[in-house]
Amino acid sequence: MDKLVSLCKRKGFIFQSSGIYGGINGCWDFGPLGVELKRNLKDDWWYHFVQVRDDMVGLDASIIMHPQVWVASGHVEAFHDMLVDCKECKKRFREDHLEGDRCPDCGGELTEPRAFNSMLRTRLGVSDDTAVDTYLRPETCQSIFVDFKEIYSSSRVKIPFGIAQIGKSFRNEVNPRNFIFRSREFEQMEIEFFCREEDEEFWFERWQEDIWKWYVNLGIRESRLRWYEHPKESLAHYSKRTVDVEYEFPFGWGELQGLANRGTYDLTQHSRHSGKDLSFFDQEKNERFIPTVIEPSAGVDRTALAVLCDAYDEDEVNGEKRVVMRFHPKLAPIKAGVFPLVKKEGLAEIAEELERKLRRKFPTVYDHSGAIGRRYRRMDEIGTPFGICVDFETRENGTVTIRERDSMEQVRVPMEEVAEYIGKRISFDQD
C-alpha cells in the first residue's frame, strides 16, 4: 500500500487535498493521471449500465436538497455511527470498527459509545434569519426517489426500468483511512431499479450477475473479488436484503459496492412526507402500485483504488527492476507514448506529427528524452498500454513499431493504421 500511495503522489494520480496547508483529513485530489483514470471508470460504467441498455435512463441532480428529504429518508433519525473515545490517548473510533474493548492504539480504556450523525451539515442562504440548515447529500440515490415522478412522466420508461446517477456524496466519517477507501468526500455510481415486488428476486439476481461481470471486465482478477451477504439482523433500516461486492485490498477485504433490495421504503416515505403520490400507474394492466427498488450502489473512489491495487506490479526487464501498472487499456489514463528512436534525422518531426494526430482520438504523450528503454519504462510506470516508436524504417516505408506494455512484444504497423489498432483495444465495447 505504501508503494502504491507514493507512486500515486509521485506520478500525479492522487494526492492530499490542500497539501500546502498540511492537508485536510478525508479529502483527496485526483491529479492529471488520476482524473483520466476516474473518468474512464465512470464512462465505462455509464456505457454498460445506461447507454447500451434500453431499460435505463440517467440523472444529474443537485447535491444540496430540501432538508425534509433527509427526514423522510430516515437519515436524520438513523444515519448514525456509534463513537467511542480513548480515555488515555483521546483518539476517537467507530465502535463497529473495533475488535476488542480497549483502545487499538494504546490499550487504554474506552468511553461508553455515543451516537454521532455522519451527515455534513451546511447552511443555505445569506442572512442569519432566512438561512436554513441542510446537509450535503450522504448518498446520491435520494434525488432519484424524489425525482421519480418527474422522470417517469417525462420519459417513455415503463416498469421495470432504472435510473442511474454518478455524483459526489459526503459523510463525516469518524476515521477516514486507508487512502481513498474511506473519505469524507467521495463519488458514487448508483442505480435505483424499479420493478414489481413479485419480480424482486429475479432482478436482484440479474443485477448480481451484471455487477460481477463489470468488475471482471475492468480487468480486476476474480480471485480478489467476493460476495458478502449481510446477516438479517444487521441490515440497514431500509433494506430487505443486501449483498456487497468486496475486493481484497492490501489492508484486507473491503466493500466496493452494495446491492440492496430497498423494497418500497423510500418511495413510500417520500410520498408520505411530501404529500405527493409517488406510485406508478401501469396503463396496460390499469393498475397503480409503489414499485420495489433494487439498488446497486458503487463507489468511484473505491473502485479506482481496487483498480490501482490490482494493476500494481513489479518485474524485471534485462536485469532492471520495472514497476508496471497493468491497467486494462480502456482504463489507462494515457493510451500511447510516441517516441522517435533518435531525435535527429527527421524522426522527431515525424513522431511529433503522429502524436498530434493521435491525441485527437485518445490521450497520448510525446517523449524524446533519454534512452528508448527508459522512455518505455516511464510509460510502464503510469500504465500506458502502447509505446509507438518512429525509427529509420518509418522514413522508408511509413511503418512504426507498437510495443505492448504487458508482453513487451512489438508489431510493425503502417502509421495510418495506428489509431484504429489502438482504438479497438481501448474501446468500452469489448465484452
Interface region with ligand ATP, contact rule CB under 6 A, candidates 40-48, 58-66, 178-186, 216-224: 178-186
| Under rule CB under 6 A, residue 297 binds ligand ATP | yes
Least distance CB 130 / ligand ATP (angstroms): 32
Q: Which is nearer to ligand ATP, 36 or 301 (CB)?
A: 301
Among 199, 255, 352, 353, binds ligand ATP (CB under 6 A): 255
Other beta carbons within 10 Å of 319: 5
The answer to whether 111 and 92 have CB atoms below 8 angstroms apart is no
Residue 205 · residue 218 · CB < 8 Å? no
The Cα 225–Cα 209 span in angstroms is 13
Choice from 11, 171, 330, 335 touching ligand ATP (CB under 6 A)? 171
The least distance separating ligand ATP from the CB of residue 320, rounded to whole angstroms, comes to: 37
Q: Which residues contact 68 (CB under 8 A, 6 or more apart)?
A: 273, 274
The one-letter amino acid code at 108 reads G
Shorter beta-carbon distance to ligand ATP: residue 175 or 279: 175
HSE of 13, CA atoms in CB hemisphere, 13 A: 25
The reply on whether position 173 binds ligand ATP by CB under 6 A is yes
Rounded least distance, CB 301 to ligand ATP, Å:
5
Q: What's the distance, CA 327 to chain centroid? A: 15
CB of 16 to ligand ATP, least distance (A): 15
262 in contact with ligand ATP (CB under 6 A):
no
| Least distance CB 293 / ligand ATP (angstroms) | 14
SS3 208: helix
371, three cell numbers? 534512452
Query: What pairs with residue 227 in β-bridges?
Result: 245
Write out the DSSP string of 23-87: --TT-EEE-HHHHHHHHHHHHHHHIIIIIT-SSEEEE---SB--HHHHHHTTHHHH-EEEEEEBT
Of the candidate spans 33-41, 68-76, 156-164, 298-306, the one that interacts with ligand ATP by CB under 6 A turns out to be: 298-306
Binding ligand ATP by CB under 6 A: which of 56, 59, 211, 256?
256
Q: Is 298 in the site for ligand ATP (CB under 6 A)?
A: yes
Name residues contacting ligand ATP, limited to 221-250 (CB under 6 A).
none
Our finding on whether 271 is near ligand ATP (CB under 6 A) is no
Pairing type for strands 336-340 and 386-390 reads parallel
Q: Do residues 417 and 400 touch, judged by C-beta distance below 8 A? A: no
Binding string, residues 115-154; x marks residues near ligand ATP by CB under 6 A: ------------------------x---------------
Binding segment for ligand ATP among 31-39, 204-212, 291-299, 397-405 (CB under 6 A)?
A: 291-299
Q: Which residues bind ligand ATP (CB under 6 A)?
A: 139, 171, 173, 182-183, 186, 188, 255-258, 297-299, 301-302
